[in-house]
């Protein structure tokens, strides 16, 4: 029933398209203008996408932390490691820079040597007071040496916060207004105002200022993504047009194809704007992807048109047959490709869900554009000249097809042995793959902000915050001596972990209070005894502004405290070990019946998000394989044909995974995408080949060998053309400065190349070797859908 419908449907579609050419072109133009008007709604992502779903325990804990203490990733740090800083002119200019920064409305407050406060005890009033570290501008080198000695030797509270005593590095911390953290205002301030201030300071002092912090990294990361979109689109257009022209030797065909994919790119941006989706590192890949995936559509349609013109020279008949014969096959292959992307929609990650929605819609969109525009434009043009049809008889293509046929005909055993050896080696390689959750691994390595990340890791043990929240379950419980001792023990454990920085908590403030109580003598920077705690807390309660001192460490009720540390960039295995060690210490020091303690922060969210994403993307790949298997079952109505069709498409995925193990490419969010994308694209060749094979069976009275060779000769050229375009098209992503994008491009290209060879050599070999098993009524029964029209087999190339 469905086959009868499709048999009459596509000729009807052909008549509608060719009889309403002007109307359709106007419709395409109107829809393109409509989508172009949506471009104004496009915006680049200012937020850091949380991979975990909203109901995940880690997300719930992080939101609970933010509701108490606010956004933890709003700090930008500036640092200088240069002894010449400690001269009057340069030191005062450094302090002036912090004053300039404080003047901006985007800045909440600044912590620097300029406004540093020293906690002291007022013996007359018996209260603590905060006095300026610098009471007047230092004029001499001796005065600066006195200040730095006081800072480095007598104020351990600021150790690793403002200074590194070992290297002499000085740091200024800028806390952005939390209301602008996820807005474009943040980007404008960092790229323009902050950049100009730092540049002017460097020009005047000849000092090198290092800048980092999560807002700073996110802003420059977004800018790098924006800069690369245009490069990718231009590179994809250039590469595909050169290859296309090399194959067809026709400026007309090349121009028409580029026209189609450029409109497809315009639609891609328009749909992003229409759905109000932000442009992320993933959605930024969609426009060039549309170019790469759209060109094979153009190849199939234009190649078929030229074949028809060569056969009978009738333009109207040629165009009608292009639509009616190739339309269904191209639709099926685009649906399978879209299915590979659409599987991301089921995931709870908004980042991947949006990527899957927009990519799958645009893949169907580029198919519609190709089917409408190419036949209509050719209908207004004269017939192709003889020189434009020469590519149909190229000797090197004949040599390639003959090589494939020779391998399938005479060397099937060698094909199987080679496949098994490669499979075994690939499986060995798979066992060497590691999973990584490195936060910065995919960032551009040659950028100034990546180098500055490494600088701050070396000087201050990292910039990725990790928080521990201690709920004492009672008011003012956070400042009780027993709680302080437990937090201090936990802090000792954290300090002994080399990948974590010295922790900052209410304990530091209480230790500083004891030091101040004993007139600032450094050796008293320690927790007070129970007796001392009574006197010190009594002084603290009488001190003005005490709540301001505590608000960064303890909530307003005094019930909940935070312990803040910063983590170096480490691999996921080490990150999990660190989490386990800290969690064991938490369980040891904080009895669950008296305390409720949890770990959170961006570093931990990224760890759990990576694990979650890898698990769900494997599910996505399994779903893609399942969906496409059902699709093949619906088309060919044979379980054996499903198994045979999966082998040449799964083997390339295994080979690629093995290569990742040997080359040291880890499994991470960016590389796991490769498998679903490549599988959805590579299965197109299988559908084309098997559809042609089934037709040849019917035409050749079920002679397996004759049908396989005929299908190989007929589809080999188009499959070769499209695979080469896809290979070089995806290869443009290798020029990316982002490690993940670069790996995605290289791995997809390699997988598609392996898939082409598997579909052109291994698949025909399997069909011939298993002819007795598959040449039964199941396979020979008429399929639900005729991918290629039955009359196609009656027209042979001369």
First to last CA, the chain: 34
Residue 138 has pLDDT above 60, yes or no: yes
- Over the stretch 522-558, which tens digit does the pLDDT of each residue have? 888 888 887 777 777 666 665 544 445 567 788 888 8
Joined tokens for residue 299: 């190849």
Mapping DSSP onto H, E and C, the string for 3-43 reads HHHHHHHHHHHHHHHHHCHHHHHHHHHHHHHHHHHHHHHCE
Band of residue 795 on the pLDDT scale cut at 50, 70, 90: very low
Please state the rounded mean pLDDT for residues 202-222: 88
Per-chain mean pLDDT for the chain: 81
Mean pLDDT of 296-320: 82
Nearest-angstrom CA–CA distance, 797 and 425: 42
**The pLDDT value given to residue 389:** 61
Whether 395 shows a pLDDT value over 70: the answer reads no
* Between 57 and 249, residue with greater pLDDT: 57
Label residue 458 exposed, middle or buried (CB < 10 Å: 0-12, 13-18, 19+): middle
Sign of the C-alpha dihedral, residues 375, 380, 386, 387?
negative
Average pLDDT on 198-226 reads 87
666, 435 contact by CB (below 8 A): yes
Is-contact 293 655, C-beta < 8 A? Answer: no
Handedness of CA 437, 442, 446, 450 (dihedral sign): negative
Structure tokens at 711: 């299908």
Q: What percentage of the chain reaches a pLDDT higher than 70?
A: 89
Taking the C-alpha atoms of residue 263 and residue 48, their distance in angstroms, rounded to an integer, is: 31
- Over residues 430-435, mean pLDDT: 82
Asked if pLDDT for residue 405 goes beyond 50, the answer is yes
Higher pLDDT, 645 or 554: 554
Nearest to 228 by CA among 44, 388, 64, 372: 44
Angle at 713 (CA atoms; ends 708, 716), nearest 5 degrees: 105
- Cβ atoms of residues 46 and 186 within 8 Å: yes
d(CA 343, CA 616): 10
Among residues 774, 793, 783, 772, which one has the least CA distance to residue 698?
793
Q: Which of 22-26, 39-43, 575-579 has the highest mean pLDDT?
A: 22-26
Give the side-chain half-sphere CA count within 13 A for 731: 13
Tell me the per-residue pLDDT of 650-664, one tens digit each, with 9 for 90 and over. Answer: 888 888 888 888 888
Least confident of 449-453, 563-567, 621-625: 621-625
For residue 657, the SS3 value is helix
Domain parsing of the chain, residue ranges: 2-48+219-431+607-794
Q: How many CB atoms within 10 Å of residue 395?
A: 7
Tokens of 273: 């704007």
pTM: 0.76
Query: In the structure encoding, which two tokens stand for residue 342, read together?
Result: 């659409």
- Is residue 158 over pLDDT 80? yes
Task: Fold for 2-48+219-431+607-794, please state it.
Answer: Multidrug efflux transporter AcrB transmembrane fold (1.20.1640)
Segment 553-557 long-range contacts (CB within 8 Å, at least 24 positions apart): 553/504, 553/505, 553/506, 553/508, 553/509, 554/478, 554/479, 554/506, 555/68, 555/69, 555/478, 557/475, 557/476
Residue 757: partners with Cβ closer than 8 Å, 6 or more residues away: none
% of the chain at pLDDT higher than 90? 17
pLDDT band at 796 (very low <50, low <70, confident <90, very high): very low
């Amino acid at each position: 029933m469905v086959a009868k419908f499709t048999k009459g449907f596509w000729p009807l579609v052909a008549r509608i398209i060719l009889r309403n050419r002007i109307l359709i072109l106007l419709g395409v133009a109107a829809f393109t203008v409509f989508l172009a008007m949506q471009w104004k709604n496009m915006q680049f992502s200012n937020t850091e996408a949380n991979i975990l779903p909203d109901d995940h325990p880690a997300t719930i804990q992080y939101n609970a932390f933010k509701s108490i203490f606010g956004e933890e990733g709003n700090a930008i740090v500036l640092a200088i490691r240069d002894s010449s800083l400690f001269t009057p002119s340069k030191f005062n200019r450094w302090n002036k820079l912090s004053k300039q920064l404080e003047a901006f409305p985007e800045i909440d407050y600044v912590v620097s040597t300029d406004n540093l406060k020293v906690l002291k005890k007022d013996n007359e009033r018996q209260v603590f007071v905060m006095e300026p570290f610098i009471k007047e501008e230092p004029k001499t080198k001796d005065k600066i040496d006195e200040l730095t000695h006081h800072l480095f030797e007598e104020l351990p509270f600021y150790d690793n916060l403002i200074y590194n005593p070992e290297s002499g590095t000085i740091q200024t911390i800028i806390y952005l207004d939390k209301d602008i953290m996820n807005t474009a205002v943040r980007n404008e301030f960092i790229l323009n105002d902050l950049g100009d201030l730092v540049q002017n300071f460097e020009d005047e002092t000849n000092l090198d200022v290092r800048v980092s912090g999560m807002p700073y990294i996110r802003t420059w990361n977004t800018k790098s993504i924006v800069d690369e979109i245009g490069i990718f689109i231009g590179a994809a257009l250039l590469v595909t047009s050169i290859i296309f022209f090399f194959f067809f030797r026709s400026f007309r065909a090349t121009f028409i194809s580029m026209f189609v994919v450029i409109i497809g790119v315009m639609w891609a941006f328009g749909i992003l704007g229409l759905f109000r989706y932000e442009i992320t590192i993933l959605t930024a890949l969609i426009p060039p992807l549309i170019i790469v995936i759209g060109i094979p559509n153009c190849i199939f349609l234009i190649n078929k048109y030229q074949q028809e013109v060569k056969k009978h020279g009738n333009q109207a008949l040629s165009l009608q047959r292009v639509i009616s014969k190739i339309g269904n096959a191209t639709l099926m292959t685009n649906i399978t490709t879209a299915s590979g992307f659409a599987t991301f929609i089921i995931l709870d990650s908004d980042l991947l869900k949006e990527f899957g929605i927009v990519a799958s819609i645009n893949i169907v969109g580029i198919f519609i554009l190709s089917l409408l525009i190419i036949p209509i434009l050719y209908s207004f043009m004269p017939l192709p000249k003889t020189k434009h049809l020469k590519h149909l008889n190229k000797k090197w293509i004949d040599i390639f097809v003959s090589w494939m046929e020779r391998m399938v005909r005479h060397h099937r055993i060698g094909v199987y042995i080679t496949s098994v050896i490669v499979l075994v080696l690939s499986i060995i390689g798979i066992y060497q793959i590691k999973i990584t959750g490195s936060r910065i691994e995919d960032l551009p390595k040659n950028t100034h902000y990546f180098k500055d990340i490494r600088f701050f890791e070396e000087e201050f043990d990292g910039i990725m915050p990790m928080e521990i929240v201690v709920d004492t379950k009672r008011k003012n419980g956070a400042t009780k001596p027993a709680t302080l001792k437990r937090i201090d023990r936990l802090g000792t454990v954290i300090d002994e972990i080399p990948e974590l920085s010295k922790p900052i908590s209410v304990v530091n403030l209480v230790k500083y209070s004891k030091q101040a109580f004993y007139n600032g003598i450094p050796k008293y920077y320690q927790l007070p005894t129970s007796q001392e705690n009574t006197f010190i807390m009594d002084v603290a309660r009488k001190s003005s502004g005490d709540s301001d001192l505590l608000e960064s460490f303890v909530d307003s009720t005094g019930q909940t405290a935070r312990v803040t540390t910063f983590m170096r960039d480490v691999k996921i295995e080490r990150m999990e070990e660190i989490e386990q060690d800290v969690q064991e210490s938490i369980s040891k020091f904080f009895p669950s019946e008296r305390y409720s303690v949890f770990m959170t922060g961006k570093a931990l969210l990224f760890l759990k998000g990576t694990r979650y994403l890898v698990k769900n993307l494997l599910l996505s790949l399994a779903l893609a394989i399942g969906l496409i298997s059902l699709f093949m079952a619906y088309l060919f109505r044979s379980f054996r044909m499903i198994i045979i069709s999966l082998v040449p498409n799964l083997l390339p995925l295994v080979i690629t995974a093995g290569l990742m193990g040997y080359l040291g490419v880890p499994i991470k969010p960016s590389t796991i995408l490769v498998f679903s994308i490549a599988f959805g694209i590579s299965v197109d060749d299988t559908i084309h080949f098997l559809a042609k094979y089934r037709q040849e069976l019917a035409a050749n009275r079920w002679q397996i060998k004759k049908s396989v060779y005929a299908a190989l000769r007929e589809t080999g050229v188009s499959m070769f053309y499209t695979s080469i375009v896809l290979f070089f098209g995806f290869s443009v992503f290798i020029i990316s400065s982002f490690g993940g994008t670069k790996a995605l491009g290289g791995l997809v290209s390699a997988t598609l190349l392996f898939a082409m060879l598997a579909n052109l050599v291994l698949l025909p070999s399997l069909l011939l070797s298993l002819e007795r098993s598959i040449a039964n009524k199941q396979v020979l029964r008429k399929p639900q859908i005729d991918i290629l029209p039955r009359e196609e087999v009656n027209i042979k190339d001369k």
